[in-house]
Amino acid sequence: MGVLALSLCAQATQTFSNTGTTSGWDSTNKEHDGTVQQVTNVVYKGTTALKMTQIYDSSYTGRYHSEVVKNNVYKRGDTGFYGFTFRLQDDWQFSPAQSYNIAQFIADFSDTGCDDYMPSSMVWLVGNQLYSRVKQGTICAQKIQTFPNIVTVSPGAWHRVEIQASWKTDGTGFYKIWFDGTKVLEEYNINTTIEDDREFQFRVGLYANGWHDDDQMKGTQGTRQVWYDQIATGTTFADADPSQW
């Protein structure tokens, strides 16, 4: 029993990996003038990376996603590691601060009548600060626990992000983030998802949510670019650590 449990726990399984290619995803979500491109001139590792671009348009009232989508990444009760690298353009304008989401877990709740696509955890920038959150409660009574000012992000540099989550609604969940290999967030005994058993997607990409949610673009940088590479999920830290595979 003890030996079996130990071997099960120690088993490394990389459940998904992508080396910065437009192929291999369940879908791509490009809105308005946004693009999702595979490039070879800016990479973290290997020969390819993904370049996400979004362009502000004051006459457009919709959202601004440029994302790739992996389905069925977690459901309530699961525990997993989720990693990726990202790089902001060299001259990324941090001020005035506005929200730019860079990764999210999300599921379609349009059958509930209370929401459509609802993100649970998100990872985003406000100015040069990395933020994250968990979503709690029910789809019709959502609660958000935000983790602000987690770490400072540098433009023009590749950053490694890794999340470990125990997705629970009984108060026993945990949520951790490593940034460039250093643990920067560790929350125990919290609810980390909402009371529902459906599968959530994992998406990486630029979602310029502030442009839509604030009904305006702050500052003067209406074209924004973020690169991604080495996106993975798995059962151990190494499975999803972009520097280890």
State yes or no: residue 169 binds ligand NAG (CB under 6 A). Answer: yes
Which residue stretch of 17-25, 45-53, 63-71, 188-196 sits at the interface with ligand NAG (rule: CB under 6 A)? 188-196
Tokens 């990395």 map to which residue?
130
Contacts of 175 (CB under 8 A, 6+ apart): 121, 132, 134, 147, 163, 164, 165, 166, 185, 187, 190, 192
The token duo for 70 is 């992996």
68 in Cβ contact with 50 (< 8 Å): yes
Residue 120 interacts with ligand NAG (CB under 6 A)?
A: no
CB of 190 to ligand NAG, least distance (A): 6
155 preceded by a cis bond (ω within 30 of 0): no
The position carrying tokens 């979500």 is 29
If binding is defined by CB under 6 A, does position 166 make contact with ligand NAG?
Answer: no
Is 77 a binding residue for ligand NAG by CB under 6 A? The answer is no
> Residue number with the shortest CB distance to ligand NAG?
171
Q: How far apart are CA 31 and CA 199, in angstroms?
A: 23
Closest CB to ligand NAG among residues 99, 191: 191
Task: Return the residues of window 134-163 that contact ligand NAG according to CB under 6 A.
Answer: 137
Q: Using CB under 6 A, which of the segments 152-160, 174-182, 190-198, 213-221 binds ligand NAG?
A: 190-198
Within 8 A by CB and 6+ apart from 228, the residues are 20, 49, 50, 52, 68, 84, 85, 86, 87, 204, 205
Q: Compute the distance between CA of residue 208 and CA of residue 33 in angstroms, rounded to an integer.
A: 12
Closest CB 235 distance from ligand NAG, rounded Å: 25
Stretch that binds ligand NAG, among 71-79, 125-133, 187-195, 213-221 (CB under 6 A): 187-195
Q: Which of 29, 191, 230, 233 binds ligand NAG (CB under 6 A)?
A: 191
Query: By rule CB under 6 A, what count of residues binds ligand NAG?
Result: 6
User: Cα–Cα distance between 203 and 104 in angstroms, integer?
Assistant: 5
Q: How far is the CB of 72 from ligand NAG (least distance, A)?
A: 24
Tokens of 107: 């599921």
Q: Which residues bind ligand NAG (CB under 6 A)?
A: 137, 169, 171, 190-191, 195
